[in-house]
Structure 1
Amino acid sequence: MSDESESPVLISIITPCFNEEDNVAELAARIGAALAQFTKYDYEHIFIDNASTDHTVEKIKLIARNNPRIKLIVNTRNFGHIRSPVHAIMQARGAAVIAMASDLQDPPELIGKFLERWESGYKIAVGVKPQSRETFLMALVRRTYYRTIGRISDVKLIPDFTGFGLYDRSVIEEIRKIDDPYPYFRGLISELGFEYATIPFEQPRRLRGITKNNFYTLYDLAMLGITSHSKVPVRLATMAGFVLALLSLGVSIMYLVLKLFFWDYFTVGTAPILISVFFFASVQLFFIGIIGEYVASIHTHVMRRPLVVEKERVNFDMDSTTTS
């Protein structure tokens, strides 16, 4: 990229955080150590905080006071784990942007491998986790989701990819053009079609703090991935309606024939009627819910709300920082 006589190339590190007071100091130190071995690179480390209720902001400010490379964006409220990281990426000034979580489950030591792939010509280098130190049930759910959305998606998604990786400036500018108010970042990377390199790693267990993901956030992310990159569910609803209509017609004809031939012996009873009513009602509610997810996605795009609203910034040069 550059020789020793040229100015160092700026690399941007993006870290979203919420109530991670026990991890931010170690994360900043490990990122600094990982990049210290590359004299041809300088870096900025942008923390974006989703209105933490602990001492995360104070600890980042303390680190930033002694290290101008550390920057901080504080949101006015918690805007969620989907919008906040993308907003921070849009503020980065580096020739490449590296996104990673703040819980230390994305190893900063992989930064060197990302840079190697970038130097070799890849616009995108991502970490994939075919294995992780989590409970069997959670691992099974994640694996099933990744495989399912990979099969039904309109584009080939990167399996076992969570967003951890390096993205060239050209990739970031393409994402900026899309201007999605609720972006499924993992899907956007595949949608753009840039050639990418994958680096497998085993995700370590979280050592400090508790995960901020719950059933709702994981469900929201799963539905966002499906509605953003697949029409299969709504087409399944159409096909299921057609098949069930044929099935109902067939059963009706069968009952009519049996009743005509065995008028005195064949009794329908109420049980089949009740079972049929509950079955068809359940199927209808399920597919109404699927359609509702697509409608909600359209509603979000129509509203065009900002990704986040900032409360304050630390160590930013406001004149040279881009806006989203």
Structure 2
Amino acid sequence: MASQLTAGRDGPVDLEIILPVFNEETVLDALFGRLDLVFDSQARLDHQLSSVRFLIIDDGSSDNTAARIAQLIREGLPARLIRLSRNFGHQAALSAGLDHAKADLVAIMDADLQDPPEIILEMVQAWRGGADVAFGVRENRKEGIIKKFAYAAFYRVYAFLAEVDVPLDSGDFSLLDRKVVEAMKQLPERLRFPRGLRTWVGFNHVAIPYERLARQEGESKYDWRSLYHLATDGIAAMSIRPLRIVQFSTFFSSLFTLILGTGLAVRVSMGSNLDPEVYWSLIVCLAVLATSSVNLACLYIFSAYIGRTYLEIKGRPTFVVMETVPAEKDPSE
């Protein structure tokens, strides 16, 4: 089995690294300086990488990020810049990268250097050992305790609700074989959650543990609102179990109301000293409270799925490309 997995993986391959950026002007010099050191000529020779190129997705930056990257490309940076027409969001930017990637191996990492690029070389070795997907697992995060707790809670709720086995504490940082990228591109949904789709398409996965570092420069673009949308979109994209929970909740809510009503009838028929009107008031209040809480929770879950369905039915593209640098040639020419 091992020989089949590793067949054809001993020779040179080309690597493309997807880097989504949004207002990251201050970190660009540190980013490309680090990448230049990690993927120098000796490292490429040692890991049999015939080429290493960067696929940079500018997600509607309003600062000089795109201009600075275009300048670096003109100065010889081995990269392509895909500029989106506005800020479509991190997951859409990753989808744009996957759609435009052409290499044998495709890596995904954040531009803020919280994901150490040195780990990508370990992922390449894992690929040579038979992995189709090598993904990073965060053993520790250099972030505040509240965010750490929120991330840990999300990954565990997500893993519980997902209908495929998803790894805990694993984000988008990964390396994908060409066939995995092609499989993900064939999926029809437009509101994509790449880390979930990466798991859904299957193939052979290997976890690479690492320590997630603090940002080198600038501030995180993921505020609490963005993290909330990421969490709800991710769960709605990968599971219908919340809808099944709604079904069970409705059943048990009705059962609870029935039990309360039966208890009331029994107490009244036994001639309890307590005024029956008091019993009725208590039972009705409890029943209304219980059913109202369940109904509100159900409406919340329904709204997430209905909103997602509404956006999918519109058929709008996941992203719109405004410009590529260097400019892509017209195939008709």
> TM-score, with normalisation over the residues of structure 1?
0.91
The runs of 5 or more residues in structure 2 that have no matched partner are: 1-8
Displacement of 1:240: 1.3
Note if 1:100 corresponds to 2:113.
no
Residue from 255, 262, 273 that aligns with 1:246: 255
Residue from 215, 233, 237 that aligns with 2:246: 237
Distance 1:318 1:202 in 2: 41
1:118-157 equivalences under 5 Å are 118-157=127-166
Q: How many residues end up aligned between the 2 structures?
A: 316
Residue from 172, 175, 182 that aligns with 2:191: 182
Whether the 8 Å contact between 2:10 and 2:128 is mirrored in structure 1 is no
Provide the residue aligned with 1:203 in structure 2. 212
Residue from 307, 310, 318 that aligns with 2:318: 307
Note if 1:56 corresponds to 2:60.
no
Whether the 8 Å contact between 2:81 and 2:326 is mirrored in structure 1 is yes
Note if 1:38 corresponds to 2:47.
no
Structure 1 stretches of 4+ with a deviation exceeding 6 A read none
Distance 1:206 1:14 in 2: 18
Distance 1:247 1:271, change over 3 A: closer
How far does the alpha carbon of each residue in 1:174-206 deviate from its partner, in whole angstroms, 9 at most, with x for none? 111113211111111111111111111110111
| SS in structure 1 at match of 2:44 | coil
Provide the residue aligned with 1:117 in structure 2. 126
| SS in structure 2 at match of 1:97 | strand
Residue from 169, 172, 176 that aligns with 2:178: 169
Whether the 8 Å contact between 1:27 and 1:108 is mirrored in structure 2 is no
Displacement of 1:162: 0.6
Distance 1:9 1:265 in 2: 82
How far does the alpha carbon of each residue in 1:104-132 deviate from its partner, in whole angstroms, 9 at most, with x for none? 11111112111111222221111110211
Displacement of 1:276: 3.6
Distance 1:116 1:263 in 2: 76
Provide the residue aligned with 2:5 in structure 1. none
Distance 2:123 2:327 in 1: 25
Distance 1:130 1:68 in 2: 32
Provide the residue aligned with 2:168 in structure 1. 159
| SS in structure 1 at match of 2:233 | helix
Matched letter for residue 299 of structure 1: Y
Distance 1:2 1:67, change over 3 A: farther
Whether the 8 Å contact between 2:56 and 2:79 is mirrored in structure 1 is yes
Distance 1:265 1:118, change over 3 A: closer
- Of 26-35 and 125-134, more deviation after overlay is shown by 26-35
Distance 1:280 1:112 in 2: 54
Aligned residues with identical type, % of pairs: 28
